[in-house]
């Protein structure tokens, strides 16, 4: 219980039934107003839910617009016909902040506006229960990620996003003017998480924004997104990383299912994870696509259509589909990717696809200094440009690897959204810098 500006004790809407027969005060947004003769039924929404208030006579006459912020005081009484089985017979409605007419209605089943309009008026749109639910779920996902890793003795790290150079040779970087020097926004904390492993933390994770200056303007891309990064040392192979991600995602979905029961019910989403996500080498995945769908793929990779079809292939009816794709060729993976033990043209790496879209890239890394220098040279890059990173490999570096999950992609795939922008509170894309 909280107190509001008139010193009455504020009761959350969802707790009003516990006060039946007693005076209560609720504060929140006017969800809807319905007049019936001398009566007005005003639904008030707060962070916990909605409660119906019944106003009579003069009180019902001059009501503020929907979405105004109000404080209503009255008597709670059980009413089987009211939503939630309770209503407040109001003796006072005080308008705290009057709302102007809305750009679109948000008390209907869905918002009748294009995604661009929804994003232009993001704050209003996020009051719609379905859109609202997305970011409650996202918050729970991030929390469950952290908890799952803390239980496994991982340390949370915070690494800089302003960097002197890129991790992969300089493309797709946003330039920053750093006191007159050229700097960039980090595409990933890749180097830093490896460095923190080498600093003796062994197991680290980071939850932070990353930046990709990709010109793509698709339903799958954001130019700024939240990366859930993991790095772990003393591994034998990338299989341990996939084991970890399988277990971690399992515990995350379980926790979110418990924490966000009503949000998931509202969206009609079942957060089940297969108990054993299949692991398919890319070459085999390409053969499956060719054989099953007559679909050809780019060399050593899948295109978006291929990702979609492969998920379709492994899907169990009505459940989210997950599949690890492994053994990508070296020439499409970064210089730090460890070659596969049985074939040095392939890597000990993987992607995780979820409901038709890549949500994770991971793999074992090269931990030997000479091998890493040779790999950098093999890409036509200059090891001198990677001094700070390479240094750690000269002073004792254990075998290690990791992965990164795109938080918005994970959220949108789990919730069945067609555009990743729906899972970003304030998305940044090729055209959009506001709000």
Task: Give residues 191-210 in contact with its own copies (rule: CB under 8 A).
Answer: 192, 195-196, 198-203, 207-209
**In sequence order, what are the beta bridge partners of 406?**
227
Among 5, 117, 218, 312, binds its own copies (CB under 8 A): 5
Work out how close the CB of 339 gets to its own copies at its nearest, in angstroms, rounded to a whole number.
15
44-63 footprint of its own copies as x/- string (CB under 8 A): -xxx----------------
Phi, psi at residue 120, to the nearest 5°?
A: -65, -35
Among 58, 299, 384, 395, binds its own copies (CB under 8 A): 395
C-alpha 332/C-alpha 330 separation (Å) is 6
Q: Does 164 engage in binding with its own copies (CB under 8 A)?
A: yes
Annotated ligand binding at 214? The verdict is yes
Among 41, 104, 135, 293, binds its own copies (CB under 8 A): 135
Work out how close the CB of 399 gets to its own copies at its nearest, in angstroms, rounded to a whole number.
6
Work out how close the CB of 309 gets to its own copies at its nearest, in angstroms, rounded to a whole number.
31
Task: Give residues 216-255 in contact with its own copies (rule: CB under 8 A).
Answer: 223-224, 226, 234, 236
Annotated ligand binding at 58? The verdict is no
Work out how close the CB of 394 gets to its own copies at its nearest, in angstroms, rounded to a whole number.
5
Are the CB atoms for 328 and 349 separated by under 8 Å? yes
DSSP letters spanning 239-291: HHHHHHHHHHHHHHHHHHHHHTHHHHHHHT------SS--EEEHHHHHHHHHH
Phi, psi at residue 323, to the nearest 5°?
A: -150, 130
Task: Give residues 89-108 in contact with its own copies (rule: CB under 8 A).
Answer: 96-100, 102
Q: Does 170 engage in binding with its own copies (CB under 8 A)?
A: no
Work out how close the CB of 398 gets to its own copies at its nearest, in angstroms, rounded to a whole number.
5
Annotated ligand binding at 406? The verdict is yes
Are the CB atoms for 365 and 386 separated by under 8 Å? no
Annotated ligand binding at 212? The verdict is yes
Residue listed under structure tokens 């197991």:
203
Q: Does 122 engage in binding with its own copies (CB under 8 A)?
A: yes
Work out how close the CB of 148 gets to its own copies at its nearest, in angstroms, rounded to a whole number.
12
Annotated ligand binding at 213? The verdict is yes
Among 109, 179, 276, 317, binds its own copies (CB under 8 A): 179
Annotated ligand binding at 149? The verdict is no
Burial of 231 (0-12, 13-18, 19+ CB in 10 A): buried
Annotated ligand binding at 222? The verdict is yes
Among 29, 322, 328, 350, binds its own copies (CB under 8 A): 29
Q: Does 113 engage in binding with its own copies (CB under 8 A)?
A: no
C-alpha 37/C-alpha 104 separation (Å) is 27
Residue listed under structure tokens 């005076």:
23
SS3 of residue 416 by DSSP: coil
Give the interface size with its own copies as a residue count (CB under 8 A). 101
Q: Is the dihedral of CA 343, 347, 352, 356 positive or negative?
A: negative
Residue listed under structure tokens 């793929």:
297
Instruction: Please identify, using beta-carbon distances, which residue of 73 and 159 lies nearer to its own copies.
Output: 159
What are the start-end ranges of the E strands in 20-85?
23-36, 39-46, 49-56, 69-78
Are the CB atoms for 307 and 413 separated by under 8 Å? no
Q: Extract the tokens encoding 147.
A: 């908890």
Task: Give residues 354-383 in contact with its own copies (rule: CB under 8 A).
Answer: 367-369
**Residue ranges for the binding site for L-aspartate?**
168, 212, 361, 365
**Residue ranges for the binding site for ATP?**
212-214, 220-222, 358, 406-409
């Amino acid at each position: 219980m909280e107190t509001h500006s008139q010193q009455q004790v504020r009761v959350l809407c969802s707790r009003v039934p516990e006060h039946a027969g007693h005076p209560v005060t609720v504060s929140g947004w006017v969800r809807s107003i319905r007049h019936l003769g001398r009566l007005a039924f005003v639904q008030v929404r707060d962070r916990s839910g909605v409660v119906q208030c019944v106003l009579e006579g003069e009180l019902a006459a001059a009501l503020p617009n929907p979405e105004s912020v109000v404080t209503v005081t009255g008597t709670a009484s059980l009413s089987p016909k009211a939503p939630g089985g309770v209503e407040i017979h109001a003796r006072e409605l005080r308008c705290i902040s009057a709302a102007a007419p809305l750009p679109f209605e948000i008390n209907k089943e869905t918002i009748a506006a294009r995604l661009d309009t929804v994003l232009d008026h993001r704050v209003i749109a996020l009051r719609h229960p379905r859109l609202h639910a997305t970011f409650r779920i996202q918050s729970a996902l991030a929390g469950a990620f952290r908890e799952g890793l803390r239980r496994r003795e991982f340390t949370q790290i915070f690494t800089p996003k302003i960097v002197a150079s890129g991790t992969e040779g300089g493309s797709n970087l946003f330039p920053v003017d750093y006191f007159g020097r050229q700097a960039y926004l980090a595409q990933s904390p890749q180097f830093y998480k490896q460095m923190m492993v080498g600093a003796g933390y062994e197991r680290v994770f980071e939850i932070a924004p990353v930046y990709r200056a990709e010109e793509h303007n698709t339903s799958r891309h954001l130019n700024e997104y939240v990366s859930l990064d993991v790095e772990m040392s003393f591994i034998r192979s990338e299989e341990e990383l996939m084991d970890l991600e399988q277990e971690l995602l399992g515990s995350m979905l379980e926790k979110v299912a418990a924490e966000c029961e009503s949000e998931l019910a509202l969206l009609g989403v079942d957060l089940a994870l297969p108990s054993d996500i299949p692991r398919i080498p890319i070459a085999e995945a390409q053969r499956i696509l060719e054989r099953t769908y007559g679909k050809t793929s780019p060399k050593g990779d899948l295109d978006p259509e291929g990702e979609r079809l492969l998920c379709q292939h492994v899907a169990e009816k009505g459940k989210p589909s997950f599949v690890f794709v492994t053994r990508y060729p070296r020439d499409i993976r970064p210089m730090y990717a460890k070659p596969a033990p049985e074939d040095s043209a392939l890597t000990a790496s993987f992607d995780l696809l979820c409901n038709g879209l890549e949500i994770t890239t991971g793999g074992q890394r090269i931990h030997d200094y000479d091998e890493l220098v040779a790999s950098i040279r093999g890409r036509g890059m200059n090891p001198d440009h990677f001094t700070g990173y390479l240094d750690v490999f000269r002073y004792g570096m254990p075998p290690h690897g990791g992965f990164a999950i795109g938080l918005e992609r994970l959220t949108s795939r789990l919730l069945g959204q067609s555009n990743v922008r729906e899972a970003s509170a304030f998305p940044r894309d090729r055209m959009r810098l506001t709000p």
